[in-house]
């Protein structure tokens, strides 16, 4: 391939002395910390994870130097200590992160050491899942482009993480949308001990992406300050002036082991260990400064002394900084949600025309898009003329709000989720709604981003809240089979940091969606797709209806059994309760609406009255959310129970396609009726 | 003076051996060996014919001793001087950048007005791309001690015979 001609803006002979001094100072103090970090572990102070950057100095200095805080957005991977310092983070801040202090600006000691961040400057909090923030960079670049800012998103990673599928998703998406993002690949030839040849056939991994239509690929010598500076300057110019993505691969050396849990003596011979030392970027920079008479040895010695003095003070200050308190662990799991003043319990007495569940969702989406101009939605099969999602829930949105706010995503669930996370990093006003997958059980490829996003608010110590609503069409009763009929909330509910709601009726679907779209934080709405068009789920919906999280709704009052349910099975429970009513029994059917947070108060109040509990959901009994409900009730209300807690749900099998199989697997009114009868016999 | 000067790193092993073969092929006449790691511009000013060793490092880079000398080299007027560049590379391990260093160095020399000699036909090599390749010729002598060590002797001999004519 033809290499891009890179203008030579910086060189040893022309760059001004003040700039050279600044660079040298950063390189010297950075390296001093890089070398000192393992001592904190040896002295049992902390910093148990340190990935030394020595050998990456040129490119890291260049990346940080080109970052403009509060304007550009940057995502550093765990080896980017010098980038962090070149972005402006101080030696003290680096050590605070290393030894996990409460005043660590990255995470207040919550996240692993060497994960440098300062969200208030747009140095974003990142995952340990290497390369996953490429998707976040794409998302925030989408916002940069949408809002017309002359800024850039920069994402750093090692060459091995380019093997991850989601990195391809990020590169492809950035290319398709022509976004101002620079993907910097710092290539030191190893993924821990795994050599590059075991990752991909192409030594220059960036060249795996030469087919991308709009993306520019630049190679540079990451060990050389000037080559790296010129490459970054050109990359930034291309992204900002031409709005094209750039993949910049910088060749580096890894002078030390991968981290302090790795020993490179086990897999690198002496010759290799020696020659990577010979190619130490700091050594080369110093030699150039002296050779071309830009600095004398005495001047360099003076800078070294200055750096040593700063490091000493930084160390002292960090050591005396407070540790995080154990009481703080529950802070910032989820932000406080939007508070409904008109419908504090999520109930209404409106009369009039009933609307279907799908209509409730569609009209609420439109109303909220009108309410907040910084609202966006994307997903698969989402927006093409009259088509709005696989079930047409978002029909008409693109026509009214345009292609920049309502658009199709590539068939890449992790991309859908990851760019939602990234775009919401741009500012706190933005609300992103995603159709996470065509059907809920296609969501699994997005789990990587889902889990990561669930950490964000806690991990950043409340500095970044991903303000996202994920909509998923869930459940069966449509003869859909696997990937089209299953429930996944039992698996998802075990992950903290996400609200999970699962309405059964049109009004609640509308009210929960509105609350979710007005709240900060991550909310998952499971939509029972079998009820989208079903008249039995249709209700009157007040135009401004809101349902708070964690408020269950008693759908039928009773005194003999408390039935806890949600989604499709709410209707089946009501049917069973009606049947039993004719037999003289009264069941109290509680529609949970919200699984996380859970309305324990309403549940326990009902159990106090009925002393018997039947839990019904569509998901599998084994490992389903009902197990958690049963455990809570056993723990908090054992004395109130007159019978064992009974559960009805799917069999511990996949959901079959043939209607006969589906019927045998999913719960129905008859199965619920029988279980209730058993309970009544106690 | 019209001495021929051969410049290579005295700390290398494989390049050094090849350089010694070249000196030997010249018959030890009028050829001075200079350590590339102690290079000064004076060497270039005072001589007319140069044979440079440029092994390719990493994924297509010059070794530090050349890279660090280039800012000095770029300011020189090398008109009326002839240069021939040889270099070691690895066609199998690094096929995307086979002997790039020869090409990088030649590009700089050409900008300084130097006359490049010792270009050879590209037959007999197997690689994907090389900055040393222009059309069907290399701009110097690529060698491969990893995969074609047996061919080195003959390649050097032939090249030196060519240089004897081109550097007259």
List chain B pLDDT tens, one digit each, 168 residues: 468 999 999 999 999 999 999 999 998 667 999 999 999 999 999 999 999 999 999 999 999 999 999 999 999 999 999 999 999 999 999 999 999 999 999 999 999 999 999 999 999 999 999 999 999 999 999 999 999 999 999 999 999 999 999 998
**Whether residue A276 has pLDDT greater than 90:** yes
Q: pLDDT by residue (tens digit) across A392-418?
A: 999 999 999 999 999 999 999 999 999
DSSP SS3 for B22: helix
Instruction: Dump pLDDT digits (tens) for A177-188.
Output: 999 999 999 999
Q: Are the CB atoms for A613 and A564 separated by under 8 Å?
A: yes
% of chain A exceeding 70 in pLDDT: 99
Q: What's the rounded mean pLDDT across residues A132-149?
A: 98
Return the active site residues of A: 484
Per the structure, how many domains does chain B have?
Answer: 1
Task: Give the rounded percent of residues in chain B with a pLDDT score beyond 90.
Answer: 95
CA distance A169 to chain B (A): 26
For A357-537, CATH number out of 1.20.1250.20, 3.40.50.300, 3.40.50.970, 3.40.367.20 equals 3.40.50.970
Cα A601 from Cα A606, distance rounded (Å): 9
CA proximity to A143, closest of A416, A401, A423: A423
Look at residue A61 and give its three-state secondary structure. helix
User: Same fold for the domain at A357-537 and the one at A553-680?
Assistant: yes
The DSSP output letter for A595 is: E
DSSP letter, residue A205: G
Report whether A5 contacts A260 (CB < 8 A). Answer: no
Cα–Cα distance measured from residue A266 to residue A585, given in angstroms and rounded to the nearest whole number: 73
Burial of residue A176 (number of CB atoms within 10 Å: 0-12, 13-18, 19+): middle
CB distance A287–B57 less than 8 Å?
Answer: no
Residues of chain A in contact with residue B60, where contact means CB-CB under 8 angstroms, are: 219
For chain A, the residue count is 682
Chain B nearest-CA distance from A288, in A, is 7
Reading across the β-sheet that carries A468-474, which strands appear in turn? Answer: A406-408, A375-379, A431-435, A468-474, A522-528, A499-501, A594-596
pLDDT of A130 reads 84
Torsion of CA A446, A451, A457, A461, to 10 degrees: -140
Mean pLDDT within A647-675: 97
Give the mean pLDDT of A426-430.
97
Interface test with B, best of A221, A224, A276 (most B CBs within 10 A): A221
Residues of chain A contacting residue B96, judged by C-beta atoms under 8 Å apart: 202-204, 207
What is the pLDDT of chain A when averaged over all its residues?
97
With bands split at pLDDT 50, 70 and 90, how would you rate the model's confidence at A83?
very high
From CA A200, how far away is CA A249, in angstroms rounded? 15
B59 with A251: Cβ contact below 8 A? yes
- The answer for residues whose C-beta is within 8 angstroms of residue B13's C-beta and 6 or more apart is none
Measured CA to CA, the distance from residue A18 to residue A66 in angstroms comes to 16
Smallest Cβ distance to A204: which of B61, B71, B96? B96
Cis amide linkage into residue A597, ω under 30° from 0: yes
| Burial class of residue A202 (count of CB atoms within 10 Å of its CB; 0-12, 13-18, 19+) | middle
Domain of B59, CATH number, reads 3.40.50.360
- Fold classified for A17-319: Rossmann fold (3.40.50)
Interface touch A284/B68, C-beta < 8 Å: yes
Residue A480 has pLDDT above 90, yes or no: yes
Q: What is the mean pLDDT of residues A423-430?
A: 98
The residue of A59, A197, A203, A248 whose CB has the most chain B CBs within 10 angstroms, and thus the best one to mutate to test that interface, is A203
Interface test with A, best of B36, B38, B39, B58 (most A CBs within 10 A): B58
- The alpha-carbon gap from B58 to the nearest alpha carbon of chain A, in Å, equals 8
pLDDT the model gives residue A3? 62
User: Which residues, 6+ apart, have CB-to-CB distance to A239 below 8 Å?
Assistant: A152, A180, A181, A182, A245, A246
Asked if B68 lies within 8 A of A202 by C-beta distance, the reply is: no
pLDDT digits (tens, 9 = 90+) for A185-222: 999 999 999 999 999 999 999 999 999 999 999 999 99
Put simply, the answer to whether B67 touches A224 (Cβ < 8 Å) is yes
Q: Which of A397, A581, A594 is nearest to A493 (CA)?
A: A594
- Predicted confidence at residue B28, as pLDDT, reads 64
CA-based nearest distance B96→chain A, Å: 8
Task: Using a cut of 0.95, tell me whether the model's pTM lies above it.
Answer: yes
The confidence score (pLDDT) of residue B1 equals 43
- The per-residue pLDDT for A388 is 85
Please tell me the distance in Å from A472's CA to the nearest CA on chain B: 46
Nearest chain A residue to B38, by CA = A291
CB A244 within 8 A of CB A4: no
Q: Among all residues of chain A, which has the CA nearest to that of B63? A: A279
Contact B61 A292 (CB under 8 A): no
**Is there a contact between A203 and B96 if contact means CB atoms under 8 Å apart?**
yes
pLDDT in tens, A436-452: 888 999 999 999 999 99
The helix or strand, by DSSP H or E, that contains position A83, with its residue range, turns out to be helix A81-86
Please indicate whether, in this complex, the C-beta atoms of A187 and B59 are within 8 angstroms of each other. Answer: yes
Q: What is the CATH number of domain A553-680?
A: 3.40.50.920
A385-397: pLDDT as tens digits: 888 888 999 999 9
Based on the number of CB atoms within 10 Å of its own CB, is A14 exposed (0-12), middle (13-18) or buried (19 or more)? exposed
pLDDT for residue A1 is more than 50? no
Query: What whole-number percentage of chain A has pLDDT above 90?
Result: 96
Q: Which residue of B has its CA nearest to A253?
A: B58
**How far does the CA of residue B112 sit from the closest CA of chain A (Å)?**
17
Indicate the pairing of strand A246-251 with strand A181-187: parallel
Binding-site residues on chain B for chain A (CB distance < 8 A): 57-61, 64, 67-68, 71-72, 94, 96-97
When CB atoms are compared, the residue of B61, B68, B94 closest to A203 is B94
pLDDT of residue B2: 60
Separation in Å, CA A99 to CA A130, A324, A464: 21, 11, 22
Domain boundaries, chain A: 17-319, 357-537, 553-680
Rounded to the nearest 10°, the torsion over CA A302, A306, A311, A314 is: 180
Least Cα distance to A525 among A493, A502, A551, A495 occurs for A502
- Over residues A575-601, the mean pLDDT reads 98
d(CA A339, CA A343): 9
Question: Which residue of B15, B61, B73 to mutate against A (max A Cβ within 10 Å)?
Answer: B61
Collect all residues from A whose CB is shorter than 8 A from any CB in B. Answer: 11-13, 187, 202-204, 207, 219, 221, 224, 251, 253, 278-279, 284, 287-288, 291-292
Enclosing H/E stretch for A528:
strand A522-528
| Structural domain range at position B41 | 4-166
Chain B residues within an 8 Å CB radius of A208: none
């Amino acid at each position: 391939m033809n290499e891009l001609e890179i203008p030579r803006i910086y060189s040893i002979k022309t760059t001004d002395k003040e700039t050279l001094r600044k660079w040298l100072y950063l390189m010297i103090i950075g390296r001093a910390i890089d070398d000192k970090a393992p001592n904190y572990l040896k002295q049992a102070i902390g910093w148990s994870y340190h990935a030394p950057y020595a050998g990456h100095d040129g490119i890291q200095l260049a990346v940080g130097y080109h970052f403009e805080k509060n304007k550009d957005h940057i995502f550093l991977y765990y080896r980017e200590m010098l980038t962090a310092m070149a972005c402006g983070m101080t030696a003290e801040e680096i050590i605070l992160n290393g030894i996990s202090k409460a005043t660590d600006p990255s995470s207040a000691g919550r996240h692993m050491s060497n994960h440098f961040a300062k969200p208030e400057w747009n140095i974003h909090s990142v995952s340990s899942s290497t390369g996953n923030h490429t998707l976040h960079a794409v998302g925030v670049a989408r916002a940069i482009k949408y809002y017309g800012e002359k800024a850039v998103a920069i994402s750093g990673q090692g060459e091995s993480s380019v093997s991850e599928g989601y990195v391809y998703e990020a590169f492809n998406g950035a290319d398709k949308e022509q976004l101002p993002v620079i993907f910097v690949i710092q290539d030191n030839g190893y993924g821990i001990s795994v050599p590059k040849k075991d990752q991909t056939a192409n030594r220059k991994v960036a060249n795996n992406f030469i087919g991308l239509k709009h993306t520019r690929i630049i190679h540079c010598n990451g060990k050389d300050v000037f080559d790296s500076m010129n490459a970054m300057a050109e990359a930034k110019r291309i992204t900002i002036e031409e709005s094209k993505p750039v993949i910049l691969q910088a060749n580096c050396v890894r002078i030390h082991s991968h981290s302090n849990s790795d020993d490179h003596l086990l897999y690198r011979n002496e010759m290799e260990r020696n020659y990577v030392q010979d190619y130490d970027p700091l050594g080369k920079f110093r030699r150039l400064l002296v050779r071309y008479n830009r600095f004398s040895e005495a001047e360099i010695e003076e800078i070294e002394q200055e750096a040593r003095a700063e490091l000493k003070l930084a160390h002292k200050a960090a050591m005396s900084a407070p540790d995080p308190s154990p009481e703080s662990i529950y802070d910032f799991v989820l932000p406080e949600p939007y508070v409904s003043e008109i419908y504090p319990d999520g109930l209404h007495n409106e009369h009039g025309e009933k609307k279907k569940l799908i209509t409730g969702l569609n009209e609420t989406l439109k109303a909220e898009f009108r309410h907040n101009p910084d609202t966006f939605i994307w997903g698969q099969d989402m927006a093409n003329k009259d088509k709005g999602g696989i079930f047409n829930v978002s029909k008409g949105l693109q026509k009214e709000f345009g292609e920049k706010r309502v658009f199709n995503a590539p068939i890449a669930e992790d991309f859908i989720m990851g760019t939602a996370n990234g775009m919401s990093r741009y500012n706190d006003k933005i609300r992103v709604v995603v159709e996470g997958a065509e059907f809920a059980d296609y969501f699994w490829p997005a789990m990587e981003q889902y889990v990561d996003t669930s950490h964000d608010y806690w991990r950043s110590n409340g500095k970044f809240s991903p303000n996202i609503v994920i909509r998923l069409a869930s459940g069966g009763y449509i003869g859909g089979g696997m990937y089209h009929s299953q429930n996944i909330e039992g698996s998802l509910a075990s992950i903290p940091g996400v609200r999970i709601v699962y309405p059964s009726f049109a009004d609640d679907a509308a009210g929960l969606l509105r609350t979710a779209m007005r709240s900060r934080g991550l909310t998952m709405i499971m939509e029972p797709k079998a009820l989208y068009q079903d008249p039995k789920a249709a209700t009157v919906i007040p135009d401004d209806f809101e349902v708070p999280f964690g408020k269950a709704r008693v759908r039928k009052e009773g005194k003999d059994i408390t039935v806890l349910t949600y989604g499709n099975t709410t209707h089946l429970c009501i049917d069973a309760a009606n049947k039993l009513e004719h037999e003289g029994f009264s069941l109290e059917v509680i529609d949970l609406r919200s699984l996380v947070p859970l309305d324990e108060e309403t549940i326990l109040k009902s159990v106090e009255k009925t002393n018997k509990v039947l839990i019904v959901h569509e998901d599998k009994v084994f490992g389903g959310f009902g197990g958690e409900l049963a455990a809570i009730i056993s723990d908090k209300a054992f004395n109130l129970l007159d019978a064992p807690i009974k559960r009805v749900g799917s069999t511990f099998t996949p959901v079959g396609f043939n209607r006969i199989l589906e019927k045998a697997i999913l719960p129905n009114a008859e199965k619920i009726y029988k279980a209730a009868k058993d309970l009544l016999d106690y | 003076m019209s001495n021929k000067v051969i410049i290579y790193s005295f700390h290398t092993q494989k390049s050094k051996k090849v350089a010694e073969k070249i000196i030997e092929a010249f018959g030890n006449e009028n050829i001075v060996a200079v350590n590339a790691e102690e290079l000064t511009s004076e060497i270039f000013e005072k001589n007319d014919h140069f044979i440079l060793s440029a092994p390719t490092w990493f994924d297509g880079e010059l070794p530090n001793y050349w890279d660090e000398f280039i800012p000095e080299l770029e300011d020189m007027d090398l008109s009326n001087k002839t240069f021939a560049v040889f270099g070691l590379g690895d066609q199998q391990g690094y096929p995307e950048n086979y002997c790039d260093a020869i090409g990088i160095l030649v590009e700089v020399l050409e900008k300084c007005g130097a006359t490049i000699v010792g270009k050879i036909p590209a037959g007999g090599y197997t690689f994907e791309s090389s900055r040393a390749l222009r059309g069907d010729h290399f701009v110097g002598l690529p060698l491969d001690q990893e995969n074609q060590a047996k061919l080195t002797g003959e390649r050097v001999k032939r090249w030196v015979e060519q240089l004897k004519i081109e550097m007259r």
